Amino acid sequence: MSRLFRPGLVRASGTRLVDDDGPVRLGGVGLGNWLMPEGYMWRFGDDLASARQIEARIRHLVGPERADEFWRRFRDEFVTEDDFALIAQAGFDHVRLPINARGVITDDGGFLADGFELIDRAVRWSERHGLRILLDLHGAPGGQTGTNIDDSPNRLPELFMRQRYRDLTIALWREIAGRYRARDAVLGYDLLNEPLPEQWQHRYEAELVQFYRDLTAAIREVDDRHLLVYEGSHWATNWQPLRQRFDDNQALQFHRYWCPPEESSIGEYLAVRDELGTPIYMGEGGENTPQWIYAATRLYERHDIGWNLWTWKKLDTVTSPLSVVRPAGWEQIADPACSPTPDRAWEILRAYLEAVAARRCERRADILDAVFARPTLQLPAWAGRGSRPQPLDRLPRELWQHPFGERYADTEHPVTTLAGGDTLSFELAQPPASWRTDADVPEALEAAWDGRRFTLTARAPVRIRVLTLADTGTVGS
């Protein structure tokens, strides 16, 4: 029985998503690495980037029997019901679950009960904790990207090269839709993650459009209830293949990383939303500083776009809400040139498994504060909304290139100049208890709270770089 915080299926109504209570603006988090391992989440390099490469490395280190045991324990322990409880407590309303087809369907089309049991668990846990869950085919049979992220066997987008793989994918989506059509906690079906990047986006554009039509028809034969979500090509940023409607109950998805967090980065998606009259969704974004995450999330919310943070948990990270503590000796696992004894490698891998439980992870409160605009942040002036906007795309590109959450250097805080009477506003969940500015004339600034925004007004010309907020202390500059 579903115990959703809000009742009913999420569905499209014009350009908005709605449920039985009315309009819905989604705010969720991805469950990367659980059912689709990615090397960077293990602090591995390019030689160990895909799930196949990671599996081969572990098998080489400890042998097939221990490797099998490792993966059984990993899938049981990397994400548990405790994670879903924490996700709900943090304030998220949904999770996006990346699925590797290799875990749920064989090359000859047989379905794998153990793989579907993991998805079943995630759906049950979502129901118990009032969350919705978006089922995301992150790695389709044959591979839809030809890169490490889809676990493709030959580093080619063979989904679009071989009919056999398309048939398997259609069969898989029919099976998924048949299994979960009655589950209201299932937010929808995210048909293909980031298909056809780089040169492939042009070579197989027509095939992608046709395949989306084929998938839509197959799913609708067994499930006419759930939302269908379509991603653009080239890392879900190129929406040329999506400039036509595939279904009456659809949403279009884009991803945004390492770009100016302003309207210039989403203008195309807003235009398509209006042209087609369809909801849109930012399905992956993050892997950056708390300041960038704050500004990007506020951008989506200003334009009534639901969002999903990538990703919930990684090893030794400052960009996810949870950070797995790196085990001693991990470099012997991560470096392909290292050859620890099987017993030593197993000892390190067991320590990793002990560390992945949510209760043992380090919590990155600044990431959650940034996502939910809590007033415990240090925000650069460019993250605010000025009465005279200064285009962010004119600032150095390096400002947005902090994929491991590296702190900004002092030289990376460009100055925002306010004339007398100008304002600079920051959207927050609640008023800060105290604040201070890095400004040349801080006494020229006065602050006000209107219930949604913390606004600085310049009484005289002032140059400001950073606003620091706290939820304790005495208000003042």
Calpha distance 142→138 (Å, rounded): 12
How many other CB atoms are found less than 10 A from the CB of residue 70? 20
* Mean pLDDT score across all residues of the chain: 96
Strand pairing report for 250-256 and 227-231? parallel
Q: What is the pLDDT of residue 7?
A: 85
- Dump pLDDT digits (tens) for 350-360: 999 999 999 99
- Dump pLDDT digits (tens) for 99-157: 999 999 999 999 999 999 999 999 999 999 999 999 999 999 999 999 999 999 999 99
Q: Taking a C-beta distance cutoff of 8 angstroms, is the pair 226, 183 a contact?
A: no
Nearest-CA neighbor of 286 among 258, 322, 267? 258
Calpha distance 26→10 (Å, rounded): 10
How many other CB atoms are found less than 10 A from the CB of residue 42? 22
| Burial group, residue 438, by CB count within 10 angstroms (0-12, 13-18, 19+) | middle
Q: What is the pLDDT of residue 189?
A: 99
Cβ-Cβ contacts under 8 Å for 339 (sequence gap 6 or more): none
Q: Taking a C-beta distance cutoff of 8 angstroms, is the pair 370, 309 a contact?
A: no
Q: What is the pLDDT of residue 3?
A: 58
Tokens of 391: 């285009």
- What pairs with residue 309 in β-bridges? 29, 285
Q: Would you state the torsion angle of the CA atoms of residues 388, 389, 390, 391, taken in this order, to the nearest 10 degrees?
A: -150
Judged against a pLDDT cut of 50, whether residue 344 lies above it is answered with yes
Of 72-81, 116-125, 306-315, 385-394, minimum mean pLDDT range: 385-394
Matching residue, tokens 């095939």:
207
pTM of structure: 0.96
At 385, give phi and psi (nearest 5°).
-110, 115
Calpha distance 12→351 (Å, rounded): 45
Judged against a pLDDT cut of 80, whether residue 310 lies above it is answered with yes
Cβ-Cβ contacts under 8 Å for 128 (sequence gap 6 or more): 3, 81, 84
Calpha distance 292→74 (Å, rounded): 31
Calpha distance 449→439 (Å, rounded): 20
- What pairs with residue 314 in β-bridges? 323
Q: Strand, helix or coil at 324?
A: strand
**H or E element at residue 8:** none
Q: What is the pLDDT of residue 358?
A: 98
* 477 band by pLDDT with thresholds 50, 70 and 90: very low
- 390-423: b or e for each residue (b if 16 or more CB lie within 10 Å)? eebeeeeeebbebeebeeeeeebbeebebeeebb
What DSSP line would sit under 260-314, residue for residue?
Answer: -SSGGGTHHHHHHHHHHT--EEEEEEESS-HHHHHHHHHHHHHTT-EEEEE-SEE
Calpha distance 347→355 (Å, rounded): 13
Nearest-5° angle of CA 310, CA 235, CA 400? Answer: 60
Q: What is the pLDDT of residue 2?
A: 45
* 1 band by pLDDT with thresholds 50, 70 and 90: very low
Q: What is the pLDDT of residue 389?
A: 83
Nearest-CA neighbor of 176 among 122, 116, 240? 116
Tell me which amino acid residue 289 is.
T
Q: What is the pLDDT of residue 146?
A: 93
Calpha distance 155→140 (Å, rounded): 13
Q: Is the peptide bond before 311 cis (omega within 30 degrees of 0)?
A: yes
How many other CB atoms are found less than 10 A from the CB of residue 140? 31
Calpha distance 39→121 (Å, rounded): 24
Q: What is the pLDDT of residue 286?
A: 97
Calpha distance 477→444 (Å, rounded): 9
Q: What is the pLDDT of residue 6?
A: 80
Tokens of 178: 């048949």
Q: What does R_g of the chain's alpha carbons equal in angstroms?
A: 23
Matching residue, tokens 């007004």:
457
Q: Taking a C-beta distance cutoff of 8 angstroms, is the pair 213, 241 a contact?
A: no
Q: What is the pLDDT of residue 255?
A: 98
Calpha distance 183→132 (Å, rounded): 10
For 258, which DSSP code? Answer: S
